[in-house]
Amino acid sequence: MPTKKKPQVTPSPERRRELLDTAAEVFAAQGYNATTVRRIADEAGMLAGSLYYHFDSKESMIDEILSTFLTELWEGYDAVLAADLGPRETIEALVTESFREIDRHRAAVAIYQKESKHLATRPRFAYLVDSQQKFEKAWLGTLERGVTAEVFRADLDIRLTYRFVRDTVWVAASWYRPGGQHSPEEIARQYLSMVLDGIALDT
């Protein structure tokens, strides 16, 4: 009599998401190289062997974490860039969208900041280089457009300004916690006020 095969159970998308969220927190706290599959499994309350049922390696996990974050980031950024806004309004919308992504993917942002340069040397993560180049082009292009339109100062150092705004915004992932006192939109408003209008009163 033939033996009945056990039915294959497909992990639910919700469970997969939970595991990736756990892995992201561990990667963000410990770094990719120092993180083991066993540590992720321990944090998820399961055996390391069971985690391999969902993912074939920790590289697969960090790949999915980063690609999911960047896909969502570019959905928001591309919508902003296609909206035909003025230069200042584009900067405002990009900063706001950035804080929304920090709110949704804080750990992934921290991982990206710490690990992307190293991971980008591997063929599997070539999309990190492509994304960085696209990101830089979007921001520099908007700043240059603002100078040309005389919305931003003519003496503005475009690349220095880009680096300042980029680092000022994304470093927030190191302290931001979802559900805090201020919404992502309110934090973006405060940042934009300081970046675009300064903090000193006109005299």
* Residue 52: φ, ψ to 5°: -70, -15
The pTM of this model reads 0.87
Q: Distance between CA 104 and CA 115 in Å, rounded? A: 19
Return per-residue pLDDT of the chain as tens, 203 residues: 555 544 444 568 888 899 999 999 999 999 999 999 999 999 999 998 889 889 999 999 999 999 999 999 999 999 999 999 999 999 999 999 999 999 999 999 999 999 999 999 999 999 999 999 999 999 999 999 999 999 999 999 999 999 999 999 999 888 888 888 889 999 999 999 988 887 666 65
Q: Residue 86 is which amino acid?
A: G
Q: In sequence order, which residues have a C-beta less than 8 Å from that of residue 187 and are 6 or more positions away?
A: 99, 172, 176
